[in-house]
Amino acid sequence: MTELNFDEIKDGHQFEELAAEYFRSLKDIPGCLVQLVGVGQDGGKDILYEFHVTDLIKSTTRRWVIQCKFSKKNVSVPDLGGISIKDLIASHDACGYLLICRSRPTSGLHDHFDRLTKNCRDGYHYEIWTGEQFKQKLLLAPETLHQQFFPKYFDYLASRPKKSEQ
């Protein structure tokens, strides 16, 4: 296997674990807390990602609600289960909602997020990462994450000659 491939992930729960581990791997963000909460009917939240932002005046905590969709088909609005994303953000005192898809969101889902953003008076952020966008981020993640979730890809990388050996 010469590329990082989601076919190595066995199910949606492991995909959620992968996303949680990705955020945990961002060690350059001090005070970062990642809580994997999605099991079964999770009400639209799989992960709560919290970090602290400090400027010259004040330290503030920011929190994101993250939902993962492991479906091979494109993700649409009904796939979100009828949740109110705005209420979900508010109930967790978060600043935004991130949807991470294995595949791609439909144009209807993009339009839905655009409307949420346009009509938002609370300053919430609504983001979607496609599978390809998530893969690009994962390529920069530590090798331990590749070894844990993408063993075939990790073995391929380990078997390649190092540049100094060529």
CATH of residue 57's domain is 3.40.1350
Q: Are 67 and 46 in contact (CB under 8 A)?
A: yes
Residue 1 lies in a domain: no
The more confident residue out of 120 and 99 is 99
- Tell me, yes or no, whether 141 lies in a domain: yes
Q: For residues 146-162, give the mean pLDDT.
A: 89
> CA distances (Å), 148 to each of 124, 134, 144, in order?
33, 16, 6
Mean pLDDT, range 56-65, rounded to an integer = 87
pLDDT at 110 over 80: yes
| CA separation for the pair 45, 10 (Å, rounded) | 20
Question: In this model, does residue 39 exceed pLDDT 60?
Answer: no
Q: Residue 28: its pLDDT value, please?
A: 66
Q: What percent of the chain is modeled with pLDDT above 90?
A: 60
Beta strands in the chain (DSSP E): 33-36, 47-54, 59-69, 96-101, 125-129
Residue 165 resides in a domain: no
Residue 166 lies in a domain: no
Sign, CA torsion 41/26/95/59: positive
164 domain residue, yes or no: no
| In-domain check, residue 118 | yes
**Residue 113 domain boundaries:** 6-73+80-159
Residues 20-48 have a mean pLDDT of: 73
Asked if 112 and 78 count as a contact pair (C-beta separation under 8 A), the reply is: no
User: Residue 124: its pLDDT value, please?
Assistant: 93
pLDDT at 137 over 90: yes
- Structural domain count of the chain: 1
CA distance 128 to 12: 17
32-36 — which CB contacts under 8 Å span 24+ positions? none
The first and second tokens of residue 6, run together, are 């989601």
Inside any domain, residue 50? yes
> Across residues 112-139, what is the average pLDDT?
93
Q: Is 101 in contact with 80 (CB distance < 8 Å)?
A: no
Read off the pLDDT band of 81 (50, 70, 90).
confident
**Per-residue pLDDT at 30:** 64
Average pLDDT, stretch 142-155? Answer: 93
- Sheet with 59-69, edge to edge strand ranges: 33-36, 47-54, 59-69, 96-101, 125-129
- Report pTM: 0.87
The predicted pLDDT at position 29 comes to: 64
